[in-house]
Chains A and B, each alone.
Chain A
Amino acid sequence: MEMAKELNTALVKRKKNGKINIKSGNKIDKVVNWTIWILGILTILAFFFFDYTGLNLERAITGTFHNLKVMFLEPTLNHFSWGEAFYQVGITLGLGVLATILGAIIAFFLALMAAENLSKPWLSRSVRVVVALIRAVPTVLWVLIFAIAAGLGSEAAVLGMLFHSVAYLVKAFSESFEEIDPGIIEALRATGSKWWHIVVKGVLPSTFTYLLSWTFLRFEINFSVAVAMGAAAGAGGIGFELFMASGFYFDLREVGFITYAILIIAIILELVSTRLKNRYFPSSAQTV
């Protein structure tokens, strides 16, 4: 009898008035509901805080549709040639490549320090804190801050973009390192290998393909970041041409042409990275 009573209190959840609770008081549902409510309220509030100076909604909407029509149906080049266009796209891709590759090299070493199974707890924690701080500053601010010290140009852009690439890749790399079979490390340690041997012979071979895939995924992001830096921080490339075409020449046809160029490259990069994701991360395709 006493056993049954004990079981009963453990298994049946009751409300305060003694009724059996049919909805299993699920904390998850509660938090989900609360979050959705709060986001909804904040969204409604947001429209009261916006600054609507000089907005004529009707004209703006029809104007935008007209602009989009001109852009996408009649793209032409007026201020530069096809060759120049390819060259500018090349610059943007080049900025992306440099930031990604240099970022991957730096991130590899930092990730070794950040991975819990390869490093000391205090070191791993401090690397993570620094990475979180770096991530909190938007890329464009990094680029603009570096532009003062290094002068406007590719150096400032690459260095600024490097920060976020490193932060992103350290997170991804260190997670890949932590997932490797502890047996590999243990076996190498038992033979008396040094830390550096463990990294080169044990960790690197078993994670290499993951590291490469992550690096490529970051390259996809860095391409659009490079476009943005061209436009907002004067880093050159196709982004800067886009900024000039829309902000200075008001040439919608050229804006359309540049947008198509960016779109095509972005779609190619996306196709490649989707294939990589499906091949190497079938289950965890969404750990960002």
Chain B
Amino acid sequence: MNEKQMRKNRWQTTFFFIVIIIITYLSAAITNFHFIDSVKTIPKAFEWILSNLIVSMESLEKLPQILDKLGETVFMSIAATTLAAVVSLFLAIMGSKTTKVNNFFSAIARLIASFSRNIPVVAWSLILLISFGQNSLTGFLALFVGTVGFLTRAFIESVDEANQSSVEALTATGATYFHMISKAVLPQSLPQMLSWILFMIETNIRSATLVGILTGTGIGYMFDLYYKTMNYNLVALITLTIIITVILIELASNKIRRVIL
């Protein structure tokens, strides 16, 4: 690297940082965000959390009800992820370069995935809420649709990564298309796909809380209810149960991932 180039690089870096600062400033202006005020609120917020978000003995009485709703949320996210994975598998096989039937179906599969992934889960849950009403199926479907989009993209990548030569070898022996998929493509990409499914279950449990607040189901609804009635002891208990659940699921899936990958 000669001196001229170094000077040019330095200019580029400076220019880049100026652009970033301008963008940040504009964002702060449009959203009415004050840096100093927000820094000041952090200690205040933690003080508030430490003095108010405490699990009290009487709030523990509600624990069975909370666990019931939490269970519903966990089941909702697992079911949404697993069923979405089945649909995504077909879409991914249709969409992948290695296994596509023809370009038309491949394009359709990618289009469906892109459409369902880029409309946020919030939009899906609000749209579904209008006609499905306030029950578990609304949240389930919202998570399902978002997960299909994400998993299809991930699965397409996994299938594309599968070794091309084993596909070729099987095709050369006269194997049918389905043999080729089930004996060459799937065994190679299955561990990777499973890892994605586990990742999506973790993500969906967190999103399920959000979807629950919007659609009035599961643990999200419980949280919203006690949050709005300012029963902060129960809010603390609900948050704590969510943390424990998410960490347990993360630990379990990390363990599985360590074996299969």
Binding site for B on A (CB under 8 A): 27-28, 31-32, 35-36, 39-40, 42-43, 45-47, 49-55, 57, 59-61, 63-64, 66-68, 71, 87, 90-91, 93-95, 97-98, 101, 132-133, 135-141, 144-146, 148-150, 153-155, 158-159, 224, 227-228, 231-232, 236-237, 239, 242-243, 246-247, 250, 252, 255, 258-259, 262-263, 266-267, 270, 285-286, 288
Contact = CB atoms under 8 A, between A and B. Distances in A.
A36 B194 contact: yes
Given A28-B191, A31-B256, A286-B154, A98 B24 contact: yes
Contacts of B123: 227, 242, 255, 258-259, 262
B99 interface: no
A242 B126 contact: yes
Nearest to B247: A136
23 contacts: A32-B190, A40-B82, A43-B83, A49-B72, A51-B72, A55-B135, A60-B132, A64-B130, A133-B243, A135-B246, A137-B246, A141-B223, A141-B242, A145-B45, A145-B49, A146-B45, A159-B42, A227-B123, A228-B122, A231-B126, A246-B129, A262-B119, A263-B118
B217 A51 contact: yes
Contacts of B115: 263
Nearest to B83: A43
Q: How large is the interface on B (under 10, 10 to 19, 20 to 34, 35 or more residues)?
A: 35 or more
Interface in B109-126: 114-115, 117-123, 126
A94 to B, nearest CB: 4
Contacts, number: 232
A158 B33 contact: yes
Given A246-B127, A288-B199, A158 B213 contact: no
Contacts of B199: 288
B32 A153 contact: yes
Contact of B34 (A50, A149, A155, A237): A155
B242 A137 contact: yes
Nearest to A92: B31
Contact of A247 (B119, B126, B196, B210): B126
A60 B131 CA distance: 5
A138 B235 CA distance: 13
Interface stretch (B56-64, B73-81, B100-108, B173-181): B73-81
A180 B83 CA distance: 40
B48 A149 contact: yes
B38 to A, nearest CB: 4
B131 A59 contact: yes
The 4 residue pairs across chains A and B that have the minimum distance between CB atoms? A63-B131, A94-B27, A149-B45, A46-B79
A101 B25 CA distance: 11
Given A28-B191, A149-B41, A139 B260 contact: no
Nearest to A224: B120
A51 B72 CA distance: 8
A272 to B, nearest CB: 13
B131 A159 contact: no
B234 to A, nearest CB: 13
A54 B81 CA distance: 24
B23 interface: yes
Contacts of A87: 30
A93 B206 CA distance: 22
B206 A138 contact: yes
A95 B30 CA distance: 9
B213 A94 contact: no
Nearest to B118: A266
Interface in B151-208: 154, 157, 190-191, 194, 196-199, 206-207
